Amino acid sequence: MMKKLLIAGGLTLLLCFSSLFFDRTALTAKAESETLSLNCKAAYCMDANSAAPVYALHETQRLPIASMCKIMTLILSFDAVESGKMDYDTFIPVSEHAMSMGGSQVYLEAGGQYTAQQLMESITVCSANDACVALAEYIAGSDDLFVQKMNARAEALGCSDTLFSNCTGLPKDPQYSCARDVALMLRELISNEKYFEFAGIWTDEFRHPEGRTTLITNTNKLIRQYQGCDGGKTGFTNEAGFCLAATAKRGDTRVISVCIGSPDSKSRFAAVSRMFDYTFANYADRELYGTEPLEEKLYVGNARTREISVMPERSVRYFSKIGETDAPFERRAEFLSVKAPLKKGDKVGEMTVYRGGVEYARVPLVCCEDAEKAGYGDSLRRAAENWAI
């Protein structure tokens, strides 16, 4: 869970944009909202790596989001796996309450047991309400307690216009979110690589304990209809209209698009596709600094080898409009005072990247190799070398 909180806090943020950049990008997003015509109440499109906005239409308006609530249900399910509360093979019991959810479901058997992986897959693929409640009861003890976790997690992600009342998205007041917050939640969800295994399934047979099967089909048609789309979550109620949050990747650029309140299913897929098209045609995510060793070497005290190579722990990337002229980037490496022994991957400093003199990103520096502690023979050899000099 600590890893997840660190991720939410910024370790998966490959870029730390200056406030000046975000102000300018936000203005661009507002301008694009006047040129792109989408048939929905609210929409938002952003770069998945940096969260830089590309398109915004009523992005903070509080609206019902139907089954897109399940994005947070899945986030907490992945959190439970990472914390050790359960694993993918854990058998989850199904209560009468869970079985009785109605709406989109996979027709779980009350008293039956299903693996966490089965339930998480059914939520991702066919938006199963009964699977949501079964997992919620197992993880938190009740679906009401699970909703408290949902709201706390949303707050930690910076979703300031979101309030959950259940884990399914079925109508229940008060319950709302906004296009921007949904994008942030989907961004967190796709930080789990396992998620894409579920999201890429088109059809599957969901097997029940007594042998019967339920055919499940992916509600996100874009995974077959849009090049690069590999995940997302649909939603529909009469109150919310037709909704969709989806992600697509082409080359090094991954985009997240959200629309809320389309009048029909075709319109929501068209709206998200249009935002994808615009972003891939006009923006790119490029690598500024990779994870190769730096030219600078790190001096290690009391080590057999006095200097070792270091590298950034992760790459630094930059999302911008194609052809846009920007202030030059420069970097500065600062090393800690360290002594052997050190292991490959140990953090030994920090690299700060500046754009036009303003701090843009800060990345830990790590050892490229081990540094063993000097022995008695090494000390004698160095003493002899110093004496000869």
Q: What is the mean pLDDT of residues 271-291?
A: 95
Q: What is the pLDDT of residue 353?
A: 95
Q: What is the mean pLDDT of residues 263-278?
A: 98
The answer to whether the CB of 98 falls within 8 A of the CB of 108 is: yes
Residues labelled as active-site residues: 67, 70, 127
Strand order across the 253-262 sheet: 53-57, 42-47, 253-262, 241-250, 229-237
pLDDT-based confidence at residue 356 (cuts at 50, 70, 90): confident
The answer to whether the CB of 165 falls within 8 A of the CB of 174 is: yes
Q: What is the pLDDT of residue 22?
A: 45
What DSSP assignment string belongs to 40-98?
SSEEEEEETTT--EEEEESTT--B--GGGGHHHHHHHHHHHHHHTS--TT-EEE--HHH
Q: What is the pLDDT of residue 318?
A: 92
Q: Is residue 16 predicted with pLDDT exceeding 70?
A: no
Structural domains of the chain, with CATH: 2-284 (3.40.710.10), 290-388 (2.60.410.10)
How does pLDDT run across 22-36, given as a tens digit for each residue? 444 554 555 554 578
pLDDT-based confidence at residue 197 (cuts at 50, 70, 90): very high
pTM: 0.83
Rounded to whole angstroms, the Cα distance separating 32 from 321 reads: 12
CA dist 220 → 23, 31, 144, 215, 223 (Å): 33, 29, 28, 16, 6
